[in-house]
Amino acid sequence: METISAESLVKSFGKIVALDRVSLRIEAGELFFLLGPSGCGKSTLLRCIAGLEMPESGVIRFGERDVTEVPPHRRETAMVFQSYALWPHLSVAHNIAFGLEERRVPKPEIKRRVEAALELVQLAGFGPRGIEQMSGGQQQRVALARALVVKPKCLLLDEPLSNLDAQLRIEMRTEIRRLVKSNGLTAIYVTHDQEEALAMADRMAILSRGRIEQIGTPEAIYRTPRSASVASFIGETNLIPGTVLESAAQSATIATAAGPLVGRLTDPAWRPQAGAAVQLSIRPEAWHLHEEAGDNAISGRIVERSYLGQRIQYWIDTAAGRQQIVEMNPQQLHSPGETSVRLHVRSDDVLVLEPDNRN
């Protein structure tokens, strides 16, 4: 278990800048997620940390040790790939033992450690089976066992659950987190699945176009995004353009096409001036439907409704654009076509963000 840090990493593929001066620090024992859309640089960053790619500039450290030019097999890391990368002609046990054999570990020690790794991933007794006899979830456990058996200081996971069905992905989330924490590992996990990251991560970094947009805990990223791109990537949100009427240290009143709304500034280093263009982020669950008038409210018309058991999802047309709303345990059902409904939101749930104008 040790810290991992990257300082000003730059990596390009031809004219495409995959990493643009990326810096971060991952604490010892953290399950840290790299999250972002396809092509944002998250897998390239992981491969640089693994030693599979060489950055053009910058430094990678494991603890105090500079490993930027250290070959992969000497970094004491283990990697789990999206495709599992298992050998179909080898048994489960031989797949797991491969890394130990490469390290010339004595055979009795290999046997003991393979059996222990199988038990760790809840596959005790499966060693003699062929890979083709294993389900997708079991193959993923074999890949994890192969990574853990070499006793790495850092576990690297590149979209390891993307090939599994939805229910199995949920089960494996808990399993991977358990294995990371019970083995005292520092783990870096790449995914584009925001729900996966919110459910599993200690902290996460959101990447976009080769840069880190924000680093924080799942709750902090969800509740306090620093940009419209982060807000729209983590969970669902309604984005409303507006213009600042007035601002204070932590809040601002924003003019929108549907009327003024008071919101919360999420970036302590940014205070927009009157007249500045901003974007408001309002989560679907933050809106509430009421008939009475009130502050921080806009009017609209329901155009669609989806019944989801304990919650109802509405789409409502307003002067500020179509809004998505989720009501939990609703006391009243509203029907599409209702000509006038009022949408209320607490000012603390209206996030005032700087527009994403970067090219």
Length of the chain: 359
Instruction: Give tens-digit pLDDT for 90-128.
Output: 999 999 998 899 889 999 999 999 999 999 888 999 999
Cα 18 to Cα 44, 160, 206, distances in angstroms = 7, 21, 14
Output the pTM of the full model. Answer: 0.87
Over range 245-257, report the average pLDDT: 94
Residue 139 has pLDDT above 80, yes or no: yes
Using alpha carbons, select from 4, 102, 14, 127 the residue that is nearest to residue 61: 4
Q: Are 4-223 and 236-353 in the same CATH fold?
A: no
Burial label for 164, CB within 10 Å (0-12, 13-18, 19+), is middle
Instruction: Give the pLDDT band of residue 81 (cuts 50, 70, 90).
Output: confident
Q: Residue 171's pLDDT is what?
A: 83
Residue 144 buriedness (CB in 10 A; 0-12 / 13-18 / 19+): buried
Q: Which residues pair with 299 in a beta bridge?
A: 342
- Between CA 331 and CA 128 the distance in angstroms is 57
The tens digit of pLDDT for each residue in 333-354 reads: 777 877 688 999 999 999 999 8
| Section 257-267 average pLDDT | 94
359 has a pLDDT exceeding 50: no
Of the CA atoms within 13 Å of residue 145, those in its CB half-sphere come to 29
In this prediction, residues 276-282 reach a mean pLDDT of: 96
Q: Which of 11-15, 54-58, 295-299 has the lowest mean pLDDT?
A: 295-299
pLDDT at 8 over 50: yes
Where do the domains of the chain lie?
A: 4-223, 236-353
Answer yes or no: CATH 2.40.30.10 is held by domain 4-223.
no
Q: Average pLDDT, stretch 33-39?
A: 92
- The tens digit of pLDDT for each residue in 153-208 reads 899 999 888 877 888 888 888 888 988 998 889 999 999 889 999 999 999 999 99
- Written out in words, the top-level CATH class of the domain with range 236-353 is mainly beta
pLDDT of residue 291: 59
At which residue do the structure tokens 């209206």 appear?
350
Instruction: Identify the residue whose tokens are 């797991």.
Output: 96
Query: Strand pairing partners for 158?
Result: 190
